[in-house]
Amino acid sequence: MAEGMVVRGLRRVRTLLADGGATRSLEGKQLVRIRDLLHECASGIGGEVSARQRAGRLAETYLRLNDEGRASFLRIVATEFGPDPELVAKAHADYQEAIGSDAQWTAESALRNAMRSARLRILTQFNALSHGVKFLVDLRADLLRFVEKDAALRSLDRELESRLGAWFDVGFLELQRITWSSPAALLEKLIEYEAVHQIRSWSDLKNRLDSDRRCYAFFHPRMPMEPLIFVEVALTEHLADNVQTLLDEHAPVFDAHRANTAIFYSISNTQVGLRGVSFGNFLLKRVVDDLKRDYPRLVNFATLSPLPSFRHWAEKNPESWPHAFSAADLERIKRHLTPEMPQLADASDLSKLLADARWMTDARLARALQHGLLRLAARYLLTTSKGGRPYDPVARFHLGNGARIERLNYLADTSARGQQQSYGLMVNYLYDPDTIEANVEAFSRSGEIAAAAAIRRSARD
Amino acid sequence: MAEGMVVRGLRRVRTLLADGGATRSLEGKQLVRIRDLLHECASGIGGEVSARQRAGRLAETYLRLNDEGRASFLRIVATEFGPDPELVAKAHADYQEAIGSDAQWTAESALRNAMRSARLRILTQFNALSHGVKFLVDLRADLLRFVEKDAALRSLDRELESRLGAWFDVGFLELQRITWSSPAALLEKLIEYEAVHQIRSWSDLKNRLDSDRRCYAFFHPRMPMEPLIFVEVALTEHLADNVQTLLDEHAPVFDAHRANTAIFYSISNTQVGLRGVSFGNFLLKRVVDDLKRDYPRLVNFATLSPLPSFRHWAEKNPESWPHAFSAADLERIKRHLTPEMPQLADASDLSKLLADARWMTDARLARALQHGLLRLAARYLLTTSKGGRPYDPVARFHLGNGARIERLNYLADTSARGQQQSYGLMVNYLYDPDTIEANVEAFSRSGEIAAAAAIRRSARD
Amino acid sequence: MAEGMVVRGLRRVRTLLADGGATRSLEGKQLVRIRDLLHECASGIGGEVSARQRAGRLAETYLRLNDEGRASFLRIVATEFGPDPELVAKAHADYQEAIGSDAQWTAESALRNAMRSARLRILTQFNALSHGVKFLVDLRADLLRFVEKDAALRSLDRELESRLGAWFDVGFLELQRITWSSPAALLEKLIEYEAVHQIRSWSDLKNRLDSDRRCYAFFHPRMPMEPLIFVEVALTEHLADNVQTLLDEHAPVFDAHRANTAIFYSISNTQVGLRGVSFGNFLLKRVVDDLKRDYPRLVNFATLSPLPSFRHWAEKNPESWPHAFSAADLERIKRHLTPEMPQLADASDLSKLLADARWMTDARLARALQHGLLRLAARYLLTTSKGGRPYDPVARFHLGNGARIERLNYLADTSARGQQQSYGLMVNYLYDPDTIEANVEAFSRSGEIAAAAAIRRSARD
Amino acid sequence: MAEGMVVRGLRRVRTLLADGGATRSLEGKQLVRIRDLLHECASGIGGEVSARQRAGRLAETYLRLNDEGRASFLRIVATEFGPDPELVAKAHADYQEAIGSDAQWTAESALRNAMRSARLRILTQFNALSHGVKFLVDLRADLLRFVEKDAALRSLDRELESRLGAWFDVGFLELQRITWSSPAALLEKLIEYEAVHQIRSWSDLKNRLDSDRRCYAFFHPRMPMEPLIFVEVALTEHLADNVQTLLDEHAPVFDAHRANTAIFYSISNTQVGLRGVSFGNFLLKRVVDDLKRDYPRLVNFATLSPLPSFRHWAEKNPESWPHAFSAADLERIKRHLTPEMPQLADASDLSKLLADARWMTDARLARALQHGLLRLAARYLLTTSKGGRPYDPVARFHLGNGARIERLNYLADTSARGQQQSYGLMVNYLYDPDTIEANVEAFSRSGEIAAAAAIRRSARD
């Protein structure tokens, strides 16, 4: 897939690749040649203009390599173009000596200079490619895959992450509305990148861009047809509780000017190579501002979000089920089991019952399961954690942005994926302008989670 | 002036300043408050969104300060938000110990992390202002003024320079043609920024954008109406030898499609705050490409450039005159002196004669001076140096880019400024695509200067 | 369908129609009210601004009517707002009397004034709708349907045609390239409007916009998302002879810069209401210019066109078959017939054999039919006529534009439609810049048809 | 001037003209050749594409002619390409006979056909020039000058006016805001075209585009850099009473968001050739809508207008002065006369006193004249007429659009022009949304003039 991402947009290279190029690893002679070219790049011999052009050719070489070749290439960059430890030691000694004196600040600069590696110089020269920024983002995606096996790439990865962080500063990003009048080449990317609720067809997409919907994305000025992150919004008059209803192409179009609620029902990050560079919270902020300007009646801003790790967590923590399902619950459930279903010794057996989706289509069984599942989910959201922060990644994102857990919705995503991730449950996170700041602070200071009273009660039961 | 630059484009602040704000220095209480705000900024308390908003308000405070206040403000940032020397020492020890082992690369990253200061974090949060990038460029201009008197700002200046260097990577710059159909608000900037041959009026400007002229500039996507550097080009059929002729509004328009020569007669850097970030050479390269595409007949690409330090050098080096002016020259010159002119004992007295512009208007006297002055200038260009590179800053730029000194032109700029800088001499630097690369390398390796044979001979005489 | 066309783009009205409005006919009271409104419109009472606004409301009323209602509405406009015959008679008498005198030209103007009807005044006021021009084009489409049954609409239709002709003067049309980066809302229209070779899916469309294809359309500045006419072009290195091959999504992409031939394989007029307003020839001219600029190697400009009426003509003219199929041909064909196929008494029975598409899939039978069918088609193109011009409408268009019939292609469109229209035959019309003018003149003067020698020979046999 | 207008924007022709071409008249041989070309154009021989190209060349010939040559050229078009009187007679007879029968509508169409001349066909083919529409507008300006001396051009002028009327239908015009960020090439046109209060410099212009000002223009899609009509608006908090104050570059900028009043202080038609095609009223309507959207606090929309014919009328109607100036007024005035001023026998001598501007600068004299002059102006506006409509052309325009005469302002335009046109008086016309429609109707039905009570009283006194 990363392959695919690199290729996209690089026309000329695509042609190269079509010749079968991208399967090559780096062999002896070529390795030598590339090492030479890299040293030439780093040295800056010749003018800057021709240096960039040479770097551009080197970048094309990179694109023709297979994973093994690329890993070797990056290893050379990572290990042979770092700072010189002796120069660093010298500069560090001067720095420490200068502490407190007037010379401290110049010495600090000198130490920083000694730490400066040629790696970044090489990589940023790759900008000479017409899609250079995208190239580097995709190269970072490669790095992220390789670094897990090769710690020598660590420093290079961090330097590149830091540079991408500078380039993708939110001050440089452009918020754009995406509509049915946007270029097809761009809309096609949405279909490809949508990570939450798959876009099944062009008519599904068109429905998501109809007059009661909004779609926004952040773009970087040098990656014009590449949304970095995008959010899909539905304008409604109530807190949406079911995503299939929301995405129903045959549902009538709602008059957006009567809407009081904006539902953010899908947020997708698109660039693997930008991991560690965050702009999702700015996106939501800007989108809320834009919506308010166009629809002054809007008062509620909420999500309809998945709980992507709920089932995974529940299956790994069988001891949590009995807290959520009372004996009476269990009795009621048993009454609706059919013979071919797994039989229940105790509550922790429920995960076997829920392993496939049949229960969803049996209304009475589903009703019997409802309270217990909601309670289990409330506990999952409010009490589980990982490294001191909520276990659920989506909860982490929204709570960190100042949202409140507003409501849990039962049978809210009955797709295979919904059943797979969260037994069909979804959650509304509410962004209440009056409490966002306080929530952010409480959450970042002490991990305190904002939640509606009902959720809180349900978790406590 | 830097004041003016900061203000430009910051509407809201302009209004603030109109209230007389920008005269304030930082007094006791305010200093405390600002220090608190800065620490808050650096800590990242609260969400990133509100952090940026707070930083935006802090940036506005900065704009209201006078120079004294700003210097104090920046000193706080520079000295109180640097890295912690003890953490640096610790990380450095780990790093040196890890050299050669697998842990080296992670240790390097950790050292780099320890070196990371909160200064940049504070400054880049200022991007929350709607003209944040321009704000930071102008803040750097302030820094450059202050750093001369206050070495404590050195490290901050270098960090900011490095960040601006990342942001203004040529890969992010847009080449745009500027024409008479460009926004007036943009053209007004050319009038303001033109640093070589002053634009006297809108009709002078219009003439420079006529069909036998071209003007190009680099722009940054987040400073849309601010040219970073621009070049003015005349399309002609010969190497231009006089700038007043070139700028004559009443001269007939030349049919550009018959042109074989492009004369770059003015190149202006506009942003003081981007000192150290270079893109001039890329500009010329891109402009040449664009011109070639539109005018396939063009074969010569040359400048008509000033020698900004020639007279200054000549006056400081009286011993150089006798080398350039022979006794016969001197005799011929004396013959045309009027009584009220300074009388000449020897050649070094010539600088007194040339101190005011009267000689230029006496055709015979001017002719008598011609050979000596040209010889003096040839020596100046070919033999003088400063830190191992040519003494003349314009020569430094063009020779570093691979140009050749092609011709010296006598009485080529008869304006007060021309007389003031270079006794009216100008020079054509020629960009010959066939020799650029070789010139760049010879120049960067051994300081070798490419020059036409005639110039070379003249310097040798 | 015309209904559909009216609705498109008129958002607000769409909502009205969704309420079931468009089924109404004009009943008594409403008829009276509309007549009153029309008279008010015509009178110009009140300022022009409010007059237009009133007319806009009337136009919306029109959109809510069903066909019967619209026909009544237009009949009122046509018959009650014409010129006054008595005033015309008076002005005409004055005019005839003034002939030859100085007063003639003023009298002519006066007569023209008297002829001026209020109909057009009413209709053009409908421009007050935000999609007014599209509204009038669609209203003309209605008129064209109604006028066949109601001659009273004739004069109105002609006046509207003439006004649309003025508005859609080619000088006002914009040639635009359509690419995969065009708005999806526009591309969707291509799918809807393509009249020659149906676009089956978005991926079929994307293939037609790939780098070895071009698509161009004319637009009117006031109908921004409505292509008026569009042409699809394939860049190849030979005269294409099969449309299925051309449209094969899985065929490799050709390097367009190596192309010497541009094949116009589909030209679609999209606006029924612009019948009588021609711009197709200008489109081809402009497209050829644009292609030449981008691909200087292109030397051949040709179509791959259907013969839409060939089979219809052949079935109606059984006597023409024996001229095309010799006895020997017939014998060869008989040899490959299977029992369940119709048996042949003579050549005119062939049309029964060809009635369904089975013969196409029998290679030997198809080969036996080839020469006869090609001869029949050559005779059809060169010798049949209707009102003095070629019988085939596509031939009429291209020959009128100066093209030459270059080649007939066998089994060139094996789709159901190709079999249905022309037994799978297609034709290449060649636009040879050197002969276009002469062809146009010979054709318009004496109906002379330009054709390659081989075609001419084949028709003569 | 018309010369100048034609030339503008026609680059290629400008070059031709620079060769001295535009001084030619049409001589014998050329006249014959042009006549032939015109007949060829009219006949439509050859395809339409090449016909247009030929016409383009003919249009260029026209541009090279001097006035005499152009008049001859147009005379040929006007007199030799009209309808055929015999065919008209025949068609007219058929038409009259068909009245009342089913054939009437076809016969009407046939008559209209017979009336159709080739003149327009020739002229509109001139659209083949890249600035064809502008060419025709300028050609109409020529026609308007010539037709006064040559009635034979009447019919051609009317046909062209009618066609331009169709092309410049308000539905096709684009309202654009003009700002300091508009292209300089466009702003230059404002300077050239401003017809009411001359724009003295680029800084005067910039001041008129500052944040408390607005400027709007109508454009035609095929004349992109040519404003057709433009209006300058000041945002204030009171009814402006002095135009020099309004245009003072040194006045502080007003915070537009506090404005309650929009003053339209200058409206200029720019295209002489569009005389008879009106869109001024639509412009005001659209501008008011746009202003309201951006500044919801605006409640008053008014002009500050000249009385261009006031003085001219007053001087021609000496008998009106005594009605306006009482004996007491006269006495007061006499008291302030200096010896060198004209002495006053009676009120009608006042026009001599006011003939030069000295009185304006004598505060006491000016005060003595105030009431009488205001009364005279009120009578002028409310009681004088020309062809049943107000004598003053600006009053005609605004009253016809539904405005009310709100206030007369004394010493409101003290420029030479203001003194020259109206003894320095200006008038505010108020556009009150609540009464516009009623005003328009009363004015168009019975010529009733809406005016504030004070004005009405003043006129009655």
- Identify the sign of the CA torsion B44, B49, B53, B56: positive
Q: Is the dihedral of CA D442, D448, D449, D455 positive or negative?
A: negative
For chain D, the domain total comes to: 3
Length of chain B in terms of residues written: 461
Q: Out of B44-48, C117-121, D217-221, D414-418, which region has the weakest mean confidence (pLDDT)?
A: B44-48
Contact B182 D180 (CB under 8 A): no
What sign does the CA torsion over B186, B191, B194, B195 have?
A: negative
Residues of chain B with Cβ-Cβ distance to A49 below 8 Å are: 281-282, 285, 401
Indicate yes or no: CB of C167 within 8 angstroms of CB of D163: no
Compute the distance between CA of residue B148 and CA of residue B130 in angstroms, rounded to an integer: 30
Residue B91: inside a domain? no
**Is pLDDT of C429 > 70?**
yes
Does residue B206 share a domain with residue B134? no
Considering all CA atoms of chain C, what is the largest pairwise distance in Å, rounded to the nearest integer?
A: 84
Beta strands, E only, B170-271? 174-177, 213-219, 229-236, 261-269
- CB contacts < 8 Å between A and B, how many? 160
Would you tell me the crossing angle of helices B67-80 and B118-125 to the nearest 10 degrees?
140
Q: Which of the four pLDDT bands, split at 50, 70 and 90, describes residue B290?
A: very high
Mean pLDDT of A182-201: 94
A145 compared with B196, residue with greater pLDDT:
A145
Answer yes or no: do B88 and A88 touch at CB < 8 A.
no
Q: Cβ distance C353 to C342 under 8 Å?
A: yes
Cβ pair B47:A154 closer than 8 A: no
Indicate the residue of C11, C183, C211 with minimum beta-carbon distance to A181. C183
Write down the pLDDT at residue B46. Answer: 67
Q: Which of C371, C398, C422, C458 is catalytic?
A: C398
Report CB contact under 8 Å: B105, A444: no
pLDDT at C25: 65
β-strands C305-306, C229-236 pairing: unpaired
Please tell me what DSSP assigns to residue B307.
-
| Residue A73, both tokens | 């290439």
Bridge partners, residue D217, by sequence? D176, D230
Separation between Cα atoms, residue A419 and residue B201, nearest integer Å? 72
Each residue of C381-422: pLDDT tens digit? 999 988 888 999 999 999 988 999 999 999 999 999 999 999
Q: What is the domain range of residue D201? A: 171-303
Gap from C61 CA to chain D (nearest CA, Å): 20
Q: Both D327 and D213 in a single domain?
A: no
- A90, A167, A169, best to mutate vs chain B, most B CBs in 10 Å: A169
Classify C67 in phi/psi space as left (phi over 0), alpha (psi -120 to 50) or beta.
Answer: alpha
Cβ separation of A181 and C181 shorter than 8 Å? no
Q: Which residue in chain D has the smallest CA separation from C171? A: D127
Relative to beta strand A261-269, strand A300-303 is parallel
Q: What is the pLDDT of residue A212?
A: 94
Predicted pLDDT of residue B152 = 94
Chain C contacts of A258, Cβ < 8 Å? none
Q: ipTM, 2 decimals?
A: 0.86
pLDDT, tens digit, for every residue of A208-226? 999 999 999 999 999 989 9
Whether D278 and D389 map to the same domain: the answer is: no
Among candidates D182, D202, D211 on the partner chain, residue whose Cβ is nearest the Cβ of B183 = D182
Of D305, D320, D422, D458, which residue is the catalytic one?
Answer: D305
- pLDDT (0 to 100) of residue D461: 73
Q: φ, ψ for residue B341 (rounded to 5)?
A: -80, 155
Q: In angstroms, rounded to a whole number, what is the distance separating the alpha carbons of residues D200 and D191? A: 8
Cα separation, D372 vs C220, in Å, equals 57
**Do A456 and A315 reside in the same domain of the chain?**
yes
Least confident of A395-399, C51-55, C302-306: C51-55
Show the tokens assigned to D235: 């945002």
Name the residue among D47, D111, D128 with its Cβ closest to that of C281.
D47
Closest by Cα among B458, B179, B431 to B305: B431
Q: What is the mean pLDDT of residues C90-105?
A: 95
For residues D284 and D351, state if they share a domain.
no
The answer to whether residues C144 and C210 belong to one domain is: no
Residues of chain D with C-beta less than 8 angstroms from the C-beta of C172: 167, 221-222
For chain C, the residues whose C-beta falls within 8 A of a C-beta of chain A are 11, 180-188, 202, 206, 211, 225
Query: Is D91 among the domain residues?
Result: no
Q: Are the beta carbons of A395 and A282 closer than 8 angstroms?
A: no
CA B441, CA B437: separation in Å to the nearest integer?
A: 6
Do residue A123 and residue A177 come from a single domain? no
State chain C's mean pLDDT as an integer: 89
CA separation for the pair A369, A330 (Å, rounded): 8
Alpha-carbon distance of C109 to C88, in angstroms, equals: 12
Q: Read off the pLDDT band of C15 (50, 70, 90).
A: very low
- B388, with CB counted inside 10 A (0-12, 13-18, 19+), is exposed
**Element of type H or E holding B115:** helix B104-115
Both D259 and D132 in one domain: the answer is no
Of the pLDDT bands very low, low, confident and very high (cuts 50, 70, 90), residue D25 is: low
The pLDDT score that the predictor gives to residue B30 is 84
Element (H or E) spanning C438, and its range? helix C436-446
pTM of the model: 0.88
Chain D residues touching C89 at Cβ < 8 A: 92, 96
Packing angle between helix C453-460 and helix C363-383, nearest 10 degrees? 100
Q: Is residue D103 part of a domain?
A: no
Q: Is B299 in the same domain as B427?
A: no
Single-letter amino acid, residue B30: Q
In this complex, the chains that touch C, judged by 3 or more CB pairs closer than 8 A, are A, D
Both tokens of B77, joined, read 């940032």
Inter-CA distances, D6 with A277, D16, D57, D132, D142, Å: 58, 13, 16, 11, 9
Distance from first CA to last CA of chain D, Å, rounded?
45
Question: Residue A164: what pLDDT?
Answer: 96
pLDDT of residue B145: 96
Beta strands in C123-278 (DSSP E): 174-177, 213-219, 229-236, 261-269
Among B207-211, C280-284, D126-130, D346-350, name the most confident range.
B207-211
Q: What is the DSSP string of A328-391?
A: HHHHHHHHT--TTSPP-SSGGGHHHHTTSGGGGG-HHHHHHHHHHHHHHHHHHHHH-EETTEES
**Rounded alpha-carbon distances, angstroms, from residue B251 to A334, B179, D243, D399:** 100, 19, 40, 51
**In the predicted model, what is the mean pLDDT of residues B281-299?**
91
Q: Is the pLDDT of residue C241 over 60?
A: yes
Q: Is C172 in contact with D222 (Cβ distance < 8 A)?
A: yes
* Arithmetic mean of pLDDT, C185-212: 94
Q: What's the average model confidence in pLDDT over C321-333?
A: 92
Mean pLDDT over B262-287 rounds to: 91
Nearest Cα to Cα of residue C138 among C153, C159, C160: C160
In the predicted structure, residue A1 carries a pLDDT above the cut 70: no
Answer yes or no: is pLDDT of D7 > 60: no
Single residue among C256, C279, C303 that ends a domain in this structure: C303
Which residues of A are designated catalytic? 305, 398
Q: Give the pLDDT confidence score for residue B460 in this predicted structure.
A: 86
Chains interfacing with A (3 or more CB pairs < 8 Å): B, C
Let me know if B109 is a catalytic residue.
Answer: no
Local confidence band at C310 (pLDDT 50, 70, 90 cut-offs): very high
Chains B and C touch (3+ CB pairs under 8 A): no
Best interface-test mutation with C: which of D40, D53, D108, D153 has the largest number of C CBs within 10 A? D108
> Final residue of a domain: which of C303, C318, C352?
C303
**Is the CB of B171 less than 8 angstroms away from the CB of A92?**
no
Task: Give the burial string for C193-215 (b: 16+ CB within 10 Å, else e).
Answer: bbebbebeebeebbbbbbebbbb
Residue A10 has pLDDT above 60, yes or no: no
pLDDT tens column, A25-62: 667 788 888 898 898 888 776 677 777 878 888 888 89
Quick one: A150 and A10 in the same domain? Answer: yes
pLDDT per residue as tens digits for the range A226-281:
999 999 999 999 999 999 999 999 888 999 999 999 999 999 999 999 999 888 78
- State the Cα–Cα distance between residues A291 and A214, nearest whole angstrom: 9
Cβ distance B159 to A82 less than 8 Å, yes or no, reads: no
A71-80, B22-31, C330-339, D306-315: least confident range: B22-31
Give the torsion sign (CA, A444, A445, A446, A452).
negative
- Looking at residue A25, what is its pLDDT? 65
pLDDT at res. C411? 95
Asked if the Cβ–Cβ distance from A111 to B109 is below 8 Å, we say no
**Where is average pLDDT lowest: C293-307, D12-26, D415-429?**
D12-26
Report CB contact under 8 Å: C106, D167: no
Are C142 and C2 in contact by the 8 Å Cβ rule? The answer is yes
User: pLDDT category, D24, cuts 50, 70, 90?
Assistant: low
What pLDDT is attached to residue C3? 28
Q: Are C161 and C295 in contact (CB under 8 A)?
A: no
C139: helix, strand or coil: helix
| D176, D216 contact by CB (below 8 A) | yes
Please say whether the dihedral angle defined by the alpha carbons of residues D69, D75, D78 and D81, taken in this order, is positive or negative. Answer: negative
Q: Which residue of C has its CA nearest to A11?
A: C211
Question: Who's near B368: CB < 8 A, 6+ residues apart?
Answer: B329, B332, B333, B335, B336
D357 located within any domain: yes
For chain D, which chains pass the contact test of at least 3 CB pairs under 8 Å? Answer: B, C
> Cα C416–C421–C425 angle (5° rounding)?
90
Structure tokens at C373: 């069918």
Output the pLDDT for position B135: 94
Q: Is residue B393 part of a domain?
A: yes
User: In chain D, which residue's Cα lies nearest the Cα of C223?
Assistant: D172
C23-27, C176-180, D54-58: range with lowest mean pLDDT:
C23-27
Arithmetic mean of pLDDT, D385-409: 92
Q: Note the pLDDT of residue C12.
A: 35
Task: For residue C39, give the 3-state DSSP assignment.
Answer: helix
Contact between chains at D52 and C170 (C-beta distance less than 8 A): yes
- CATH code assigned at B204: 3.40.630.180
Per-residue pLDDT band for C24 (boundaries 50, 70, 90) equals: low
Report yes or no on C57 lying in a domain: yes
pLDDT in tens, B164-185: 999 999 889 999 999 999 999 9
Model confidence at B25, pLDDT cuts 50, 70, 90, reads low
CA distance C116 to chain D (A): 9
Q: Which of C303, C321, C336 is the last residue of a domain?
A: C303
Q: Which of B304-308, C11-15, D125-129, D344-348 has the highest mean pLDDT?
A: B304-308
Query: Among B266, B305, B309, B320, which one carries the catalytic annotation?
Result: B305
Verify that D282 and D320 share a domain, yes or no.
Answer: no
Model pLDDT, residue D15 = 37
Q: What is the mean pLDDT of residues B450-458?
A: 95
pLDDT score at D46: 67
> For residue A40, what is the domain's CATH number?
1.20.140.90
Please report residues of B whose CB lies closer than 8 A to that of D187: 184
Q: Which residue has the tokens 């004005």?
A: D455
Assess whether pLDDT exceeds 80 at residue D130. no
* CA–CA dist B26, C261 (Å, integer): 74
CB spacing of B172 vs A222 below 8 angstroms: yes
Residue A105 inside a domain? The answer is no
Q: Which residue of C has its CA nearest to A252?
A: C18
Residue C167 has pLDDT above 50, yes or no: yes
- Write out chain D residues lying below 8 Å of B256, CB-based: none
Mean pLDDT, range C176-204, rounded to an integer: 95
Establish if C111 belongs to a structural domain: no
Based on the fold, state whether residues D51 and D149 are members of the same structural domain: yes
